């Protein structure tokens, strides 16, 4: 059983991540706070904090926003909590306390907390689980409450969400009324409360919602008939959309709304790690395999269609009409991290890394001020954002959204990154990522100097808690790592001998000052897709380390589909010397541009013109221009 | 000025087309007649003929069907008229007479004729030109009236439509109320009446509707505001949809609903050929070039998106989410034929041939009982017809449609094919296609033995009307023809010397028995698309003669995107020896199937397995199975 990690004990000093955490702390969190307070002109109005003050009777006014508007405040608070773990900030904390104060005052005497229904439709509480997100918002508030308590030791919000959880537990459960959320999240929130408070009742309630789902696929249909009113006009018969088509343990494939799906799988894995239940564990493994082996973009993005923001079918991974919502990739990381609790296997860490370095951070503009909801792998002028089937593929990143789920999700994930990079149980310390900095864990403190992701060179210096302690130190070795070398205090280790499920285990009695150095080569890799992925037929994708690369028209001219990567082209890494991408490793290669006759259809084989091609890390695309972009390139 | 051709004077005895005309005569027309009479169970109810009998007070009942249901009856009658030209059939003619009788009785004393408004909403006549298709239905009825008169000499329907045209002319025009149809067709119908009756007023009214269009882009908006009711909820501001965004002479690109567009261009070209107006002629040429050089599928299909059944932007030609409505390709042939009246150039004949042998007849199942509305160039199991963006790509061909525009359109085109194959003016007889059979024209009779489209071998035997006459005989030489040989009475001609705009002209005093033989090679051609067509990047399409070929999974296995056509593969023509495609030339080649590691993403370059590939003519696809299909194949 994994030990709980206190985020405050992990300090990230990392070439790649430190500047991103700083950006979020300095720019994104204050920017989002201003948005939540409606202080930024010409941006979608939020009203999220005002709603709480109105519900608390601290202000007069009407509810404004989506039925799940409360979750924006909750996610911001959770992000603030993690930011306070990264670096103390008493002014920010004071402002967060004020927000929490209004939330606490908004809570009803029975524990109920949802400003939409408190202000607007109190007579409709709990009648529309399918559409109205009460349980979803509650789940996010629970995560915020637990996080804020852990960060600050302050119990106000934790007490609020415990009362809220108890209120929900008084209504739903075995022998009470039955219910499942239309958008999963309460299960994660309750498990978070369970981990923080140790109270079994929260795990039991989380498990109730998981167990109940799909038992009666007509649940939402009956609910809709009973209440006789609608909020969004969602189809209660579309049971795949919200994964209620089958009991969760019987589900074989990842279906429906991808964020709902991975949030649910996250909770399932979390519960399974506690209960050790075989059927639930196997369902998690099956769904994991289905996603990552058949339904995941090379960027870690998931969700192939805008229609229901959903999974489609195996190997259907269109690059241009893709959805790949930022939140879904984040949810996949949540799921991956919980799977690592179930069993330590690099396949989970590798996917976590894939999503983190590509399809998640692509969601945020490099200045922290604009965000993608949709993360395409191909953008074409005149088509993306404009034509039917592509209207959702908006370029550039918008400033904010009416449904602003993604930006605060990026914040809370990246500010709690330490918890994804490290793991620990009774016997072992795990380095899942290669985060530079310092991790003070139960077994001792590990200080890391990391050149990753730019180079495969990471040095761990270990200081056991009592100066000397016996435990295993396990490092994920990514599947792509070439020529892996590991030294212990300068002495070469037998890497193959120490490998288990993709982790290298070094089991010994550690002494202060012991140094483990991991080195591996990071050549540029040509990646091919399964032949069943028709969108990528004939194409190659370039990767180096965790980075997927892409080609933008600003570097390579228009008509990216006319470019070819020769099969024998040598690919050079060059550090970008100027501009916004300064310091980033770019790829340069001798490519080819095809030229036809100019006619629409013609018989003469197109000519190949030699051209130098430049690829940039995928996450950085769309920062210098709003031109075309392509990840998968035709090989020649 | 082109002379009018009497369809009865052209007899088609052609390897390819005769069996299709027979199928239409024996199967399709009777089948459609049964559908119009609602005698086929489990097929979309039509009620089209009943509507006329109800409007005529010959029966009691309610209107049923689309607001343009009348046009199905009109198009069927037009097809019947052409069928009677191909072969007399007194029983069919008698049944058509009965239908015409009910139409004549349905006509109102003032000339009005539209069963929807006569039966259902008489108070709403002419109020909703944008949505309600009164002018559209009138146009189709005019075509039917003229055709039926020409076929049988019977004036009943011609008189009806003249009264209808006069009624419309009494309402709309300079100094009267202004109006333009929401769906163009009346312009074609009026020009048809003009050509048949010689009455200038019909050309003038046609031209009025053309000239009026786009003069006031807010016309439909104002109309909608004035009437205050809706039929379809179409957006009156979407002026591109119905080509009212600009005056027609100022339009640079083919925009909006593709059938509306080409119907309009057809009428424009028809009018321009009469009036010789430069601005209108240039608009036609510009729109022709835009379509055929930037917005046309290799099959002759047009309309890249289901969204508005419309053109999109230059070079946007997706193969799998394509629309390419059968009617639109038919409309392109209408347009092409009228352009040939404006100037004889093979570019028009070549496109006419492309659409006829590919994207039009693909619309009809080989048994004549099922029809495509949408003609895809790529079909994928689990995607086509199922997923968002592809739901309109229905396989197999459905039996009938609620909006049944395409099946009768195929009928009327193919039964009047003679008019597309031949042309004549004061100096010249034109062979636009290579139809076998006999054409009795003004200058004389031409008897044709044609091996086309299977071989490039056509012999024309000429019998001048007076035994001896001086005129030019001009034959289109398709752009793809290789090694063209032409002999006159066995004597080799200088082909290059006689070429003008892609036609070979033989000008002389012809005597009875003169023989012209055209021969050219029909090698398999590798066709490439403009590099701006991203859907076809890296791909090749195989053609032989006019036929586009495609690969079906029934011949080549699943995952057609994993197949490659080596650049140096020899391609053999083999006549199919059994089954439904018996007698058809198939293509066989040594191709390659790529095999990956089985993982979703992997580093090892996929292996190439040698496989024999089979391609079938595109029009014949989806007749033996409902599997995958692809026209454009990756080249290796």
Give the contacts of A23 (CB within 8 A, at least 6 positions apart).
A367, A368
C-alpha to C-alpha distances, B551 to B455, B556, B613, B615, nearest whole angstrom? 22, 7, 8, 5
Whole-angstrom distance, CA of residue A216 vs CA of residue B473 = 77
> Does residue B360 form part of some domain?
yes
pLDDT > 70: what percent of chain B?
99
Mean pLDDT of B320-329: 97
Q: Name every chain A residue with its beta carbon within 8 A of the beta carbon of B382.
A: 313, 316
Same domain, B558 and B625: yes
Q: For residue A573, what pLDDT band results from cuts at 50, 70 and 90?
A: very high
Q: Do A601 and B530 touch (CB under 8 A)?
A: yes
User: pLDDT at residue B398 above 90?
Assistant: no
> Does residue A232 form part of some domain?
no
Whole-angstrom distance, CA of residue A519 vs CA of residue B323 = 54
Cis peptide before B329 (omega within 30 of 0): no
Q: Do B530 and A596 touch (CB under 8 A)?
A: yes
Nearest CA-CA partner of A636 in B564, B145, B17: B564
Minimum Cα–Cα distance from B316: chain A residue: A383
Mean pLDDT of A287-315: 98
User: pLDDT at residue B402 above 60?
Assistant: no
User: pLDDT at residue A605 above 80?
Assistant: yes
Buried b (16+ CB within 10 A) or exposed e, B518-550: bbbebebbbbbbbbbbbbbbbbbbbbbbbbbbb
CB–CB of B150/B6 below 8 Å?
yes
Give the contacts of B103 (CB within 8 A, at least 6 positions apart).
B52, B56, B73, B113, B141, B157, B160
> Does residue B236 form part of some domain?
no
B605: DSSP letter: P
Whole-angstrom distance, CA of residue A513 vs CA of residue B368 = 84
Q: Do A603 and B387 touch (CB under 8 A)?
A: no
Instruction: Compute the mean pLDDT over every residue in chain A, rounded to the nearest whole number.
Output: 96
Q: Do B528 and A603 touch (CB under 8 A)?
A: yes
Q: Do B602 and A527 touch (CB under 8 A)?
A: yes
User: What is the number of structural domains in chain B?
Assistant: 4
The CATH number for B475's domain is: 2.60.40
CB–CB of B75/B140 below 8 Å?
yes
Same domain, A545 and A427: no
CA B298 to chain centre: 15
Same domain, B145 and B27: yes
Q: Do B606 and A531 touch (CB under 8 A)?
A: yes
pLDDT at A402: 57
Q: 3-state class of B177 per DSSP?
A: strand
Q: Name every chain A residue with its beta carbon within 8 A of the beta carbon of B603.
A: 480, 525-528
Same domain, A435 and A538: no
Q: For residue B369, what pLDDT band results from cuts at 50, 70 and 90?
A: confident
- A residues 344-403 lying closer than 8 A (beta carbon) to B: 380, 382-383, 387-389
CA distance B530 to chain A (A): 5
Same domain, B72 and B213: yes
Whole-angstrom distance, CA of residue A138 vs CA of residue A144 = 10
Angular region, B52: left φ>0, alpha ψ -120 to 50, beta rest: alpha
Q: Do A389 and B387 touch (CB under 8 A)?
A: no
Give the contacts of B150 (CB within 8 A, at least 6 positions apart).
B6, B7, B8, B81, B85, B196
- B residues 540-599 lying closer than 8 A (beta carbon) to A: 541, 559, 561-562, 564, 567, 594-596, 598-599
Minimum Cα–Cα distance from A539: chain B residue: B538
CA distance B613 to chain A (A): 17
User: pLDDT at residue A151 above 60?
Assistant: yes
Q: Where are the alpha helices (DSSP H) in A482-549?
A: 495-498
CA distance B605 to chain A (A): 7
Sheet strands side by side (includes A422-424): A422-424, A428-431, A468-476, A503-511, A499-500
The pair of structure tokens assigned to B502 is 């892609």
CA B239 to chain centre: 24
> Does residue B240 form part of some domain?
no
Q: Do B600 and A307 touch (CB under 8 A)?
A: no
Residue A382's Cβ-side half-sphere holds a number of Cα atoms within 13 Å equal to 12
Last residue in a domain, options A416, A439, A470: A416
Whole-angstrom distance, CA of residue A371 vs CA of residue A327 = 11
Whole-angstrom distance, CA of residue B293 vs CA of residue B595 = 36
User: pLDDT at residue A46 above 70?
Assistant: yes
User: pLDDT at residue A404 above 70?
Assistant: no
User: pLDDT at residue A204 above 80?
Assistant: yes
pLDDT at A400: 62
> Does residue A595 form part of some domain?
yes
Mean pLDDT of B252-270: 98
Q: Do A531 and B599 touch (CB under 8 A)?
A: no
Q: Name every chain A residue with its beta carbon within 8 A of the beta carbon of B537.
A: 561-562, 594, 634
Q: Which of B388, B531, B561 sits opposite A606 (nearest CB)?
A: B531
pLDDT at B403: 58
Last residue in a domain, options B416, B447, B470: B416
Catalytic residue numbers of B? Answer: 309, 405
Q: Name every chain B residue with its beta carbon within 8 A of the beta carbon of A596.
A: 528-531
Sheet strands side by side (includes A491-492): A10-12, A437-440, A444-450, A456-464, A514-521, A482-488, A491-492
In this structure, the number of other CB atoms found within 10 A of the CB of residue A297 comes to: 32
Q: Do B307 and A383 touch (CB under 8 A)?
A: no
Condensed to tens digits (0 to 9), the pLDDT of residues B160-216 reads 999 999 999 999 999 999 999 999 999 999 999 999 999 999 999 999 999 999 999
Taking the CA atoms of residue B531, residue B537, residue B543 and residue B547 in that order, the dihedral angle to the nearest 10 degrees is -90
> Does residue A239 form part of some domain?
no
Same domain, A214 and A263: no
Q: Name every chain A residue with its beta carbon within 8 A of the beta carbon of B557.
A: none
CB–CB of A413/A81 below 8 Å?
no
The pair of structure tokens assigned to B345 is 């150039």
Long-range contact pairs involving B539-543 (C-beta distance under 8 Å, separation at least 24): B539/B632, B539/B633, B539/B634, B539/B635, B540/B565, B540/B632, B540/B633, B540/B634, B540/B635, B541/A601, B541/B298, B541/B631, B541/B632, B541/B633, B542/B571, B542/B587, B542/B615, B542/B633, B543/B298, B543/B480
Q: Does A294 touch chain B (CB under 8 A)?
A: yes
In terms of DSSP bridges, do strands A629-630 and A547-552 run parallel, antiparallel, or are they unpaired? Answer: antiparallel
Q: Name every chain B residue with its beta carbon within 8 A of the beta carbon of A294.
A: 600
Give the contacts of B306 (CB within 8 A, at least 6 positions apart).
A388, B321, B323, B374, B392
Stronger pLDDT, B629 or A408, i.e. the higher one: B629
Give the contacts of B597 (CB within 8 A, at least 6 positions apart).
B604, B606
pLDDT > 90: what percent of chain B?
94
Last residue in a domain, options B499, B521, B543: B521
> Does residue A223 form part of some domain?
no
Q: Do A528 and B600 touch (CB under 8 A)?
A: no
In this structure, the number of other CB atoms found within 10 A of the CB of residue B252 comes to: 10
Whole-angstrom distance, CA of residue A263 vs CA of residue A260 = 5
In terms of DSSP bridges, do strands A524-529 and A539-544 run parallel, antiparallel, or are they unpaired? Answer: antiparallel
- B residues 444-503 lying closer than 8 A (beta carbon) to A: 480
Same domain, B214 and B74: yes
CA distance B354 to chain A (A): 12
The pair of structure tokens assigned to B543 is 């053609």
Catalytic residue numbers of A? Answer: 309, 405
Mean pLDDT of B83-96: 97
CA distance A65 to chain B (A): 28
Same domain, B480 and B412: no
Q: Which of B530, B567, B594 sits opposite A600 (nearest CB)?
A: B530
Q: Which of A537, A604, A634 sits opposite B561 (nearest CB)?
A: A537
Q: Do B532 and A599 touch (CB under 8 A)?
A: no
> Does residue A132 form part of some domain?
yes
Same domain, A259 and A306: yes
Same domain, A385 and A456: no
Q: Where are the alpha helices (DSSP H) in B24-69?
A: 29-36, 48-55
Listed range (A233-237, A333-337, A618-622, B406-410) with the worst mean pLDDT: B406-410
pLDDT at A283: 98
Same domain, A198 and A272: no
Condensed to tens digits (0 to 9), the pLDDT of residues A165-198 reads 999 999 999 999 999 999 999 999 999 999 999 9
User: pLDDT at residue B528 above 90?
Assistant: yes
CA B350 to chain centre: 14
Condensed to tens digits (0 to 9), the pLDDT of residues A458-477 reads 999 999 998 899 999 999 99
pLDDT at A102: 98
Mean pLDDT of A548-572: 97
Q: Which of A307, A526, A634 sits opposite B537 (nearest CB)?
A: A634
Instruction: Compute the mean pLDDT over every residue in chain B, rounded to the nearest whole number.
Output: 96
- B residues 108-167 lying closer than 8 A (beta carbon) to A: none
Nearest CA-CA partner of A197 in A155, A241, A134, A251: A155
Q: Do B634 and A559 touch (CB under 8 A)?
A: no
CA distance B533 to chain A (A): 8
Condensed to tens digits (0 to 9), the pLDDT of residues B125-171 reads 999 999 999 999 999 999 999 999 999 999 999 999 999 999 999 99
Q: Which of B316, B387, B567 sits opposite A387 (nearest CB)?
A: B316
H or E stretch covering B614: strand B607-617
State the best of A537, A596, A597, A629 to mutate against chain B, taking most chain B CBs within 10 Å. Answer: A537
Q: Which of A305, A596, A604 sits opposite B388 (nearest CB)?
A: A305
The pair of structure tokens assigned to B329 is 């390709």
Q: Which domain holds residue A393?
A: 246-416
CA distance B583 to chain A (A): 27
Q: Do A313 and B602 touch (CB under 8 A)?
A: no
CB–CB of B412/B78 below 8 Å?
yes
Condensed to tens digits (0 to 9), the pLDDT of residues B36-50 reads 988 888 777 889 999
Q: Do A389 and B389 touch (CB under 8 A)?
A: yes
User: pLDDT at residue B5 above 80?
Assistant: yes
Condensed to tens digits (0 to 9), the pLDDT of residues B469-507 reads 999 999 999 999 999 999 999 999 999 999 999 999 999
Q: Do A293 and B561 touch (CB under 8 A)?
A: no
A305: DSSP letter: B
A2: DSSP letter: P
Q: What number is the ipTM of this complex?
A: 0.96
State the best of A300, A534, A542 to mutate against chain B, taking most chain B CBs within 10 Å. Answer: A534
Nearest CA-CA partner of A340 in A420, A277, A437, A267: A420
Q: Give me the total of CB pairs closer than 8 Å, taking one residue from chain A and one from chain B.
A: 140
Q: Name every chain A residue with its beta carbon within 8 A of the beta carbon of B388.
A: 305-308, 389
Residue B229: burial class (beta carbons within 10 Å; 0-12, 13-18, 19+): exposed
pLDDT at A403: 58
Same domain, B103 and B74: yes
Condensed to tens digits (0 to 9), the pLDDT of residues B587-600 reads 999 999 999 999 99
């Amino acid at each position: 059983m994994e030990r709980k990690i206190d985020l405050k004990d992990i300090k990230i000093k990392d070439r790649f991540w430190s500047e991103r955490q700083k950006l979020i702390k300095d720019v994104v969190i204050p920017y989002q706070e201003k948005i939540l307070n409606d202080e930024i002109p010409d941006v979608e109005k939020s009203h999220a904090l005002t709603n709480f003050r109105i519900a608390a009777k601290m202000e007069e006014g009407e509810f404004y926003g989506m039925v799940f508007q409360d979750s924006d405040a909750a996610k911001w608070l959770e992000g603030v909590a993690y930011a306070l773990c990264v670096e103390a900030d008493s002014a920010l904390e004071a402002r967060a306390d004020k927000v929490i104060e209004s939330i606490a005052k908004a809570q009803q005497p029975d524990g109920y907390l949802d400003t939409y229904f408190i202000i607007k439709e109190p007579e409709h509480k709990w009648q529309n689980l399918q559409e109205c997100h009460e349980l979803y918002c509650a789940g996010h508030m629970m995560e915020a409450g637990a996080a804020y308590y852990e960060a600050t030791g302050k119990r106000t919000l934790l007490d609020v969400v415990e009362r809220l959880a108890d209120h929900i537990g008084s209504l739903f459960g075995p022998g009470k009324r039955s219910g499942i959320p239309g958008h999963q999240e309460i299960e994660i929130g309750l498990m978070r409360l369970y981990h923080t408070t140790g109270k079994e009742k929260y795990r039991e309630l989380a498990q109730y919602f998981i167990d109940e789902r799909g038992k009666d696929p007509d649940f939402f249909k009956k609910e809709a008939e009973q209440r006789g009113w609608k909020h969004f006009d969602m189809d209660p018969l579309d049971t795949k959309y919200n994964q209620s088509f089958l009991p969760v343990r019987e589900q074989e494939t990842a279906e429906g709304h991808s964020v709902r799906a991975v949030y649910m799988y996250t909770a399932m894995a979390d519960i399974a790690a506690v209960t050790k239940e075989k059927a639930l564990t196997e369902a998690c493994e099956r769904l994991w395999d289905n996603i990552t082996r058949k339904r995941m973009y090379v960027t870690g993005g998931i969700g192939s269609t805008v229609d229901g923001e959903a999974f489609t079918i195996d190997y259907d991974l269109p690059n241009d009409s893709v959805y790949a919502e930022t939140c879904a990739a984040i949810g996949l990381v949540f799921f991956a991290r919980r799977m690592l609790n179930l069993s330590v296997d690099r396949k989970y860490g590798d996917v976590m890394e894939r999503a983190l370095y590509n399809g998640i951070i692509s969601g945020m503009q490099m200045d922290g001020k604009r965000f993608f909801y949709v993360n395409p792998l191909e953008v074409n002028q005149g088509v993306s954002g404009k034509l039917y089937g592509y209207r959702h593929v908006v370029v550039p990143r918008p400033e904010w959204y009416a449904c602003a789920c993604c930006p605060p999700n990026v914040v809370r994930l990246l500010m709690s990154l330490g918890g994804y990079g490290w793991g620990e149980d009774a016997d072992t310390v795990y380095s899942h990522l290669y985060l530079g900095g310092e991790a003070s864990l139960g077994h001792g403190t590990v200080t890391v100097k990391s050149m990753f992701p730019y180079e495969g060179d990471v040095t761990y210096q270990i200081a056991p808690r009592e100066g000397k302690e016996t435990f295993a130190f396990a490092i994920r070795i990514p599947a792509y790592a070439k020529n892996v070398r590991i030294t212990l205090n300068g002495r070469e280790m037998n890497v193959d001998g120490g490998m288990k499920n993709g982790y290298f285990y070094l089991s010994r009695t550690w002494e202060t000052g012991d140094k483990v150095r991991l080195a591996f080569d990071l050549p540029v890799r040509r990646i091919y897709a399964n032949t069943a992925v028709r969108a990528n037929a004939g194409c190659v994708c370039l990767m180096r380390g965790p980075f997927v690369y892409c080609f933008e028209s600003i570097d390579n001219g228009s008509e990216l589909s006319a470019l070819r990567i020769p099969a024998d082209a040598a690919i050079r890494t060059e550090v970008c010397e100027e501009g916004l991408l300064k310091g980033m490793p770019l790829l340069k290669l001798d490519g080819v541009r095809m030229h036809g006759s100019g006619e629409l259809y013609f018989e003469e084989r197109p000519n190949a013109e030699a051209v130098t091609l430049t690829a940039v890390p995928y996450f950085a695309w769309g920062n210098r221009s709003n031109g075309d972009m392509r990840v998968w390139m035709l090989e020649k």
